[in-house]
Amino acid sequence: MIEISQENLLKYYNIALNVVCNVIGKDVVKKQMRKVIRVGISPRAVRRHGVCKTLNGKCIIEISKHLFDAGEKELITTLIHEILHTFKDTKGHDYKWKWYANKISDITEYKITRTRNIAGIESNFNYKVICDSCGHSTMYIRMSDRKINNLKNKKYHCTFCKNHSFKIESINH
């Protein structure tokens, strides 16, 4: 477990940036990377490990505080993922983003993917919603009374099978 601090985050950000520069090339990174004005820790994010927000052509990268529990490699992998989103020639997880991600994955120990399931992080969830038809499940940290009522009153549907019937399980830690 890594101590949650801005200092540690910046240390791992610099490691991730060096990996990207070494694999993609410093010239390409310098040309394609938008200016990162802030790298921060998100205290609430659990479902996403990181995010890259673009504002007026500049980027803000935020990493979930829960990622510090997953270890050094996962933290660096997520930071590389978010750094690739700062590139001007990528949009979302398009072909160019995937090309960069695959190049880094092929050459380094960091496997850059669109999504990741990291052992231990899911233990922060308190609710599990399960489709009665196909069994697909979604985890939540908190659920409002409104969301619970909408699930019970069949106002939502499963994204996989379009069923409107769900079971809500409370996860006790």
CATH superfamily of 6-107: Metalloproteases ("zincins"), catalytic domain (3.30.2010.10)
For the chain, the structural domain boundaries read 6-107, 125-170
Q: Which long-range contacts (CB under 8 A, 24 or more apart) does 106-113 make?
A: 107/23, 108/19, 108/23, 109/73, 110/19, 110/73, 110/76, 110/77, 110/80, 111/77, 112/77, 112/80, 112/81, 112/84, 113/81
Q: Would you give per-residue pLDDT tens digits along the chain (173 residues)?
A: 789 999 999 999 999 999 999 999 999 999 999 999 999 998 877 678 899 999 999 999 999 998 888 889 999 999 999 999 999 999 999 999 999 999 999 999 999 988 766 655 555 678 889 999 998 888 787 889 999 999 999 999 988 899 999 999 988 75
